[in-house]
Amino acid sequence: MKQFKVYKVNAKATAWGLELRYFTIFFSEIVVSGILLGVSPSWTKLLVFSSVIVATYLGFKLMTERSFIDGLTKDKLPKRIRNAL
């Protein structure tokens, strides 16, 4: 008789390395920045929007990586405290 082993897969849909909820926020930010830059272009706006987009992408990328967030939220205190006497 043939047996099958079921593996748990924790795969999530991603786009550009971001979870879909972060990607939608990121893409809407790109669209809004493009519209604002198209209305009245200037070098200052281009620099500001570019730096904001890069910072947002890097922030969302760190939030997508679970190991980074888990390291921040893990309880650092021990579960049980012993007396050393």
63/53 Cα distance (integer angstroms): 15
Tokens 């999530």, located at residue: 12
Task: Please check whether residue 8 lies inside any domain of the structure.
Answer: no
Domain count, the chain: 1
26: its two tokens = 């990121």
Task: Please check whether residue 85 lies inside any domain of the structure.
Answer: no
25/22 Cα distance (integer angstroms): 5
Task: Please check whether residue 55 lies inside any domain of the structure.
Answer: yes
pTM of the model: 0.64
- Residue 63's nearest CA partner among 7, 4, 15, 17 is 17
35/47 Cα distance (integer angstroms): 15
Which pLDDT tens digit goes with each residue over 19-48? 888 899 999 999 999 999 999 889 999 999
Range of the domain at 20: 14-64
